[in-house]
Amino acid sequence: MTANFCNNCGHAVEHRVPDGDHLPRAICPACSHIQYFNPRVIVGVVPEWEDGRILMCRRNIEPRRGLWTFPAGFMELDETTAQGAAREAMEESQADVDVHSLLAVIDVPYVSQVYMVHRGRMRSPHHGPTPESSETRLMTEAEIPWDEIAFPTVWHSLKYFFADRAAGTPQIHTLSLSRKSRDPRHQEVSTGEPLSSF
Amino acid sequence: MTANFCNNCGHAVEHRVPDGDHLPRAICPACSHIQYFNPRVIVGVVPEWEDGRILMCRRNIEPRRGLWTFPAGFMELDETTAQGAAREAMEESQADVDVHSLLAVIDVPYVSQVYMVHRGRMRSPHHGPTPESSETRLMTEAEIPWDEIAFPTVWHSLKYFFADRAAGTPQIHTLSLSRKSRDPRHQEVSTGEPLSSF
Ligand SMILES: [Zn+2]
Ligand SMILES: [Zn+2]
């Protein structure tokens, strides 16, 4: 992830370590603007209906089209992580969700992402398909398709959610995923630039 | 935060909502590249020496030069939040810190930042000034200069740290800061683009 041209003035950039910095950056020799590239936050929520079922979405977009997830996507400017999670729930599943507590913080360094997954309560039973989700479905724990989960972050978050609920002790879980330690079928994939892929 | 020119090909960008998206983005009409701007993660650590004192740094850079903080700065690509916090400790205070647990997740939506603050143990008593810190000092709780803390995120994190330690129950705290609810002297300030300001 870097830049060829200055996004301020359009001049070709140079890559070098700025004074007082420690890593090479994309620096504009014409206007001195520096472009930084930093990890991105993915905000998600496990939406729970009052009968205990949770809302799952079948991905209608790459990567992992056809596999299942709860609503999650890239955090936007000017919002909190909880606001972002509620926005994603509406965009991906039409669900109005009260996002109420943090469930898991998961580092995915090999794609420079941090997942912040929340618990949420559906304010109404309404949900439905969207451009991002070909199908949305309320599921009991027994109905979760564990072998068809889109990402390991989602898989781990769901395990945390159900374990905490069974124990009656909601917690905030932290986890770092490493590429090497996972079954290749369960690798996170870099989504590159397109935000819309989440 | 936006772009005037494409950082891929240098052409002037247009600002419009891409197909399937929901917010205006900087789109290149020449090469179709889209530039996204997302919130940034600030990783920090409260470094504790074996006698219970914690390591504080006096900021040598704007904003809030001269005020006190624990090591914290922008998370970089390809690292975990804990790795980033350890890196910041070394860069800002020369301290070798074993970052071992998450202490606080703090949303600061009005500057599009998320703080991830950790607890850490200093592996040696060594610490010292750096370009970013004019002075570093091990402090007891009674010595913390509460009226000279650089940012409310730092102030709240320190309060959480000492409260948990007194109670013997380390937790992960979550907080959203709102501009309106804070004393103006304790406002976060937007640092704009320069990463080195943290
Ligand atoms: Zn420029
Ligand atoms: Zn272009």
**Tens digits of per-residue pLDDT, B101-121?**
999 999 999 999 999 999 999
Contacts of A59 (CB under 8 A, 6+ apart): A65, A66, A67, A68, A69, A132, A133, A134, A150
pLDDT digits (tens, 9 = 90+) for A147-163: 999 999 999 999 999 99
pLDDT band at A179 (very low <50, low <70, confident <90, very high): confident
Query: What count of other Cβ atoms lies within 10 Å of the Cβ of residue A77?
Result: 15
How close, in Å, is residue A172 to chain B by CA atoms? 7
Structural contact between residues A103 and A172, judged by C-beta atoms closer than 8 angstroms: yes
Q: Which amino acid is at B52?
A: G
Q: Is A193 part of a structural domain of the chain?
A: no
Give B143 or A191, the one with higher predicted confidence: B143
Are A18 and A107 in the same domain?
A: no
pLDDT band at A15 (very low <50, low <70, confident <90, very high): very high
Query: Could you tell me the distance, in angstroms and rounded to a whole number, from the CA of residue A122 to the centre of ligand 1?
Result: 47
Are A31 and A108 in the same domain?
A: no
Q: What does the alpha-carbon distance between residue B161 and residue A154 come to, in Å, rounded to a whole number?
A: 30
Q: What does the alpha-carbon distance between residue A81 and residue A40 come to, in Å, rounded to a whole number?
A: 12
Q: Is A107 part of a structural domain of the chain?
A: yes
Q: Tokens 């406002």 label which residue?
A: B187
Say if residue B194's pLDDT is above 70: no
Are B76 and B139 in the same domain?
A: yes
ipTM: 0.89
Are B137 and B71 in the same domain?
A: yes
Are B49 and B131 in the same domain?
A: yes
Q: Which of chain A's residues have a Cβ under 8 Å away from the Cβ of B33?
A: 193
Domain count, chain B: 2
Q: What does the alpha-carbon distance between residue B71 and residue B44 come to, in Å, rounded to a whole number?
A: 6
Q: Which of chain A's residues have a Cβ under 8 Å away from the Cβ of B9?
A: 4-5
Are A66 and A101 in the same domain?
A: yes
Give A182 or B173, the one with higher predicted confidence: B173
Of A6, A37, A174, the CB nearest to B77: A37
Q: What share of chain B is helix, strand, coil (3-state, %, to 5)?
A: 25, 35, 45
Are A33 and A73 in the same domain?
A: no
Q: Is A189 part of a structural domain of the chain?
A: no
Are B14 and B94 in the same domain?
A: no
Q: Is B185 part of a structural domain of the chain?
A: no
Are B97 and B13 in the same domain?
A: no
Residue contact B5–A1, C-beta within 8 A: no
Query: Could you tell me the distance, in angstroms and rounded to a whole number, from the CA of residue B39 to the centre of ligand 1?
Result: 22
Q: Is B92 part of a structural domain of the chain?
A: yes
Least confident among A175-179, B5-9, B46-50, B59-63 = A175-179
Give B194 or A175, the one with higher predicted confidence: A175
Of A18, A21, A75, the CB nearest to B38: A75
DSSP state letter for A74: E
* CATH, residue B169: 3.90.79.10
pLDDT band at B180 (very low <50, low <70, confident <90, very high): low
Question: CA gyration radius for chain B?
Answer: 19
Residue contact B174–A23, C-beta within 8 A: no
Nearest chain B Cα to A19, which residue?
B196
Residue contact A6–B7, C-beta within 8 A: yes
pLDDT digits (tens, 9 = 90+) for A184-195: 445 454 433 322
Q: What does the alpha-carbon distance between residue B189 and residue B161 come to, in Å, rounded to a whole number?
A: 23
Q: Which of chain B's residues have a Cβ under 8 Å away from the Cβ of A30?
A: none
Q: What is the pLDDT of residue B179?
A: 73
Residue contact B39–A75, C-beta within 8 A: yes
Q: Is B191 part of a structural domain of the chain?
A: no
Q: What is the pLDDT of residue A2?
A: 87
Are A23 and A101 in the same domain?
A: no
Which residues form the domain of B162?
40-179
pLDDT band at A20 (very low <50, low <70, confident <90, very high): confident
Q: What does the alpha-carbon distance between residue A96 and residue A27 come to, in Å, rounded to a whole number?
A: 43
Q: B38, B113, B193: which to substitute to probe chain A, counting the most A Cβ within 10 Å?
A: B38
Say if residue B158's pLDDT is above 70: yes
Q: Which of chain A's residues have a Cβ under 8 Å away from the Cβ of B114?
A: 41, 75, 81, 116
Query: Could you tell me the distance, in angstroms and rounded to a whole number, from the CA of residue A92 to the centre of ligand 2?
Result: 29
Contacts of A179 (CB under 8 A, 6+ apart): A110, A187, A188
Q: What is the pLDDT of residue A183?
A: 52
* CATH, residue A8: 2.20.70.10
Residue contact B172–A176, C-beta within 8 A: no
Q: What does the alpha-carbon distance between residue A120 and residue A18 come to, in Å, rounded to a whole number?
A: 43
Are A8 and A48 in the same domain?
A: no
Ion ligand 2 — residues with CB under 5 Å? B 6, 8-9, 11, 28, 30-31, 33
Q: Tokens 């000092």 label which residue?
A: B137
Q: Average pLDDT of B133-151?
A: 98
Contacts of A158 (CB under 8 A, 6+ apart): A46, A54, A70, A144, A149
Q: Average pLDDT of A24-46?
A: 97
**A54 strand-pairing partners:** A48, A139
Are B19 and B67 in the same domain?
A: no
Q: Is A197 part of a structural domain of the chain?
A: no
Q: Average pLDDT of A110-132?
A: 97
Q: What is the pLDDT of residue B46?
A: 98
Q: What does the alpha-carbon distance between residue B72 and residue B117 come to, in Å, rounded to a whole number?
A: 8
Strands B14-16 and A173-176: unpaired
